[in-house]
Chains A and B, each alone.
Chain A
Amino acid sequence: MPFTKKPHAFKAAINEVTLGTGDKAVTIGGENTYPFYTFDNTTKNKPVIGAEVSDIGYENEPEGYKAFFGTEDMVERAKKAAAMDEVAFICLHFAGADPFGANKSVEECIEKAKAVAAAVDKPLVIMGCKNLEKDTELFSKVSEALAGKNIVVLSAREENYKTVGASAGLAYNQKVSAESAVDINLAKQLNVLMMQLGVNPKSMVMNLGSAAAGYGYEYVASTMDRVRAAALGQNDTQLQMPVITPVSTETWAVKESVAEEADMPEWGSREERGIDMEVVTAAASLSAGSDAVILKHPESIRTIYKLIDALC
């Protein structure tokens, strides 16, 4: 009997969400198959890569990273990253805003964000410092400052979704990411709350939570898997938002990427290890259903880009 190919595209699809404006705007989502199941249907929008540019910690970056960017200046680094063809958007990570860290003022962060927005035409994603109060203020003000730029705010959480959702999503018409901690039910609950607040589901993306490979990553993978299965298989409209997964913030914080070669000679080059961690985690996230991953090292970005290109 001859083999008859039976493509299995779902009737439901992931929402399409456009980030940024103008020629360099990028659309994510839209697919109606599992990730990279190109034999079921062509992937409407290929997964994309965002480049993380953090406002602190340049001095600790590996040599290759420093050689590529050459400067600590956030705006210059953003410009360099944006110049890479592989990079679809820039993720400005205001880790320095943390009141228990460098405690940079919200105004200072906004100045930086505005400077980058003026210098770069690729879409911007704003990542906070994980301090709830500071992030809430930062996200509200940055949404106002960059009105019309169609940025993504990463992220609204259960504790601050009202303020963040209202300012970013409703008042300034930006895109809002809903962040939950690796649990399909919590992800859905937050989406429902945001939608009840009046945020348009088509303006929402999800950050389902992440981890570095080997650090409980299987929970992340299975959560993404199940979210995608519910969105496509059960047409669950409350889970059909595209997924943006921050990878670099996780992988560059684990011992495999942090331990210096001098301390761990048998592990080899720190930079290579860091890139490897970033690449494997990003590859896993993409194959579990992320529509975008956020990476830091140019080498990782190039590698993952090749992977996406080869698979779609």
Chain B
Amino acid sequence: MPKITFRHEDGKTVDIELQSGITLLEAARLANVAIDAPCSGNGSCGKCRVRIAEGTPDSERTRHIKEEDEKNGWRLACLTKVTGDVTAEVPDIAAAYRSRMKIADISSGKEVEIFTRIQEDIAAAGIESGCGIRQIKLTLPEPSLDDTMPDDERLERALKAETGAEKIDVPYSVLRILPGMLRKEDFRITVTVSEEDSTLKVLRVQPGDGTPACGLAIDIGTTSVTGILADLYDGKILAKASSGNGQIRYGADVIHRIVEQEKEGGIETLQKAVIEETIIPLIRIMEKQAGTDAESVVRLTIAGNSTMNHLFLGIDAGPLRREPYIPAFFSCSPVRAEELGLPVNAEALVHIMPNIGSYVGGDITAGTLASMVWNKDDICLFIDLGTNGELVLGNNSFLMSCACSAGPAFEGGDISCGMRATDGAAEACRIDKETMEPELSIIGDGELVGICGSGLIDTISELFRCGIINAKGQFVREGERVKRNEHGMGRFVLATRSDGREVSITEGDIDNFIRAKGSIFSAVMTMLNALDMDVSVIDSVYVAGGIGSGINMDNAVRIGMLPDIERERFHYIGNSSLAGAYAALTGTQAEEKIAELGRSMTYLELSTVPGYMDSFVAACFLPHTDASLFPSVQ
């Protein structure tokens, strides 16, 4: 059998022997070598580039690899079949993820302000904080021949005396270290307990005064994962971090992930990709930032879409993608962190934000809490612009939700120069109609790196306004900045960087984006139609997601992504899923409210609405096939 050698950039190699005919991508997966393959290996995304150093495998010609690169040995791993011994050089995927998926949720002053206001709004709505976890400093009476009570009873008694609780639960993990610690610390300890009804459960014992009890709120997005480490006593944010979801190499969207999960051992692989390769490194980063240790984490909340929730818990998500689209669960009782292999306190419980439907999950129940739509008299619309676009329409008397597949475009995925809203991203753009010269505003002080969602909206809106692209997103005006490749595909050059790399937006990018915006707009219209309403009933629109706080609502309307209502009615609320997960972390009442919202929300499955596809095609046009829906756009 041919020997396949994968060589990483750091020189490390992995060998595997497999039969001829297998593709390099499949071989890489079997050998556990990470190659970025958002399209799951059908040759369409062009991301799984490897360089053939030795050997002559059988490879299909693809437009994704330039002729010059092909001469230098670059191939797409998914289109390259092994015919004999081969050595392939693999680009450093971790670095690729990080650069592609840099995330800056709640890092800018504006985002922090939005986040803080959400928490204040939740409190103002009468939802009290407090998650029932507290710390008690105790000095236990030392045992003697006259006082021969065992250590656990000694602890229980002291806790009962201190708190008045009727029942105390001292778990094995605590018992195991208790005797040693008591004697070493002269019976002065700090106990972290969680209180439920009248039972106190001891979560942790620490020597002396101890360190604060912490919690973790994690938003698991299809494309990116974000976490907050907070002090459970006062809710103070100690650290935050984010990264790309390690599952990305198994496909860019939830359907590809489920397909991958259904393969043999897939459930474990996907769970490992999100926990071991994504969340654990995030925890390590936050630990370091906060100067605490993961042992102090005693409570976790997880907000993810239905598929992410399934894959995180290692539950078969297969039935989700097949008619009649059935999830394994909506809500799930808290899971011990240990069972999931999370390196936090052994007694910590992971609270999963409940799902509502097959494609509307905990990120939306949590986000709905954060959007405050449930507390309004007027009808409001909450839109989460992620890889899956989710919508919630309603007010304090009803809520309806639906999901549509927008693709990763809003977060910069599937866009040649796309990136999240972070340093170096063009977040806004204006183009001079006469000279076609663009004027960009870039996040941070550095050089332009790429375009984030809000920058894309601006650029496309401006290209359209200046007559450079037509309503189908094709280039119709020539100029210095309009270039075409050998297949005639046009692109608009926004800038050429000092390293010679071009930052541009191509017809393909525009097409991807038009589909993304079309799916959102048609979902809005389909949901309103289902309720026999039109856009005039909407009082406020809350837009969430990694698109960036720089989003220009006027341009978003001009390209037909959001309904044409007064621009003041739109509000950007940042990462609402994380904001909701944080509220649930620091408050049991918020967690209960989220569960209640989940139970009371109606779910509309768009794939069963006959008019949705039609409405989608009509929306794949700038601004829309039916111009009368956009009276303010001339």
Chain B: interface residue total (CB-CB under 8 A): 11
Residues of A within 8 A of B614 (CB): 184-185
- Residues A196 and B470 in contact in the complex (CB < 8 Å), given A162-B476, A185-B625: yes
Residues of B within 8 A of A186 (CB): 617
State which of A97-105, A187-195, A205-213, A260-268 sits at the interface with chain B: A187-195
* CB nearest neighbor in B for A196: B470
A158, B472: Cα distance in complex, Å: 9
- The answer to the question of A183 belonging to the interface, with a C-beta cut-off of 8 Å to chain B, is yes
User: Are A193's CB and B625's CB within 8 A?
Assistant: no
User: Are A189's CB and B476's CB within 8 A?
Assistant: no
Quick one: which of B471, B476, B617, B620 contacts A192, CB cutoff 8 A? B471
Tell me the minimal C-beta distance from A133 to chain B in angstroms: 11
Residues of A within 8 A of B476 (CB): 162
**Scoring B residues 614 to 634 as 1 if CB is less than 8 Å from chain A, else 0, what string do you get?**
100110110001010000000
Quick one: which of A158, A162, A188 contacts B625, CB cutoff 8 A? A188
User: Are A193's CB and B472's CB within 8 A?
Assistant: yes
- Residues A185 and B618 in contact in the complex (CB < 8 Å), given A162-B476, A192-B625: yes
Tell me the minimal C-beta distance from B626 to chain A in angstroms: 8
Residues of B within 8 A of A188 (CB): 618, 625
A51, B291: Cα distance in complex, Å: 84
A189, B617: Cα distance in complex, Å: 10
A-side interface mostly: helix
Residues of A within 8 A of B472 (CB): 158, 189, 193
Residues of B within 8 A of A158 (CB): 472
Residues of A within 8 A of B470 (CB): 193, 196
Interface size class of A (residues with CB under 8 A): 10 to 19
Tell me the minimal C-beta distance from A104 to chain B in angstroms: 25
Residues of A within 8 A of B618 (CB): 185, 188
Residues of A within 8 A of B617 (CB): 183, 185-186
User: Are B471's CB and A196's CB within 8 A?
Assistant: yes
Tell me the minimal C-beta distance from B478 to chain A in angstroms: 12
Tell me the minimal C-beta distance from B620 to chain A in angstroms: 8
Tell me the minimal C-beta distance from A199 to chain B in angstroms: 13
* CB nearest neighbor in B for A226: B614
Residues of B within 8 A of A192 (CB): 471, 621, 625, 627
Residues of A within 8 A of B471 (CB): 189, 192-193, 196
Quick one: which of A162, A184, A189 contacts B621, CB cutoff 8 A? A189
Residues of B within 8 A of A185 (CB): 614, 617-618, 620-621, 625
Most A Cβ at <10 Å: residue of B618, B621, B625, B627 = B625
Residues of B within 8 A of A183 (CB): 617
List residues of A (229-281) whose CB comes within 8 Å of B's CBs: none
A185, B620: Cα distance in complex, Å: 9
* 17 A-B interface contacts by CB (under 8 A): A158-B472, A185-B614, A185-B617, A185-B618, A185-B620, A185-B621, A186-B617, A188-B618, A188-B625, A189-B471, A189-B621, A192-B471, A192-B621, A192-B627, A193-B471, A193-B472, A196-B471
Q: Write the residues of chain B forming the contact surface with A, with a CB cutoff of 8 angstroms.
A: 470-472, 476, 614, 617-618, 620-621, 625, 627
10 A-B pairs with least C-beta separation: A185-B617, A185-B618, A185-B625, A188-B625, A189-B621, A189-B625, A193-B470, A183-B617, A192-B471, A193-B472
Question: 20 new A-B pairs (CB below 8 Å) besides A185-B618, A192-B625, A196-B470?
Answer: A158-B472, A162-B476, A183-B617, A184-B614, A185-B614, A185-B617, A185-B620, A185-B621, A185-B625, A186-B617, A188-B618, A188-B625, A189-B472, A189-B621, A192-B471, A192-B627, A193-B470, A193-B471, A193-B472, A196-B471
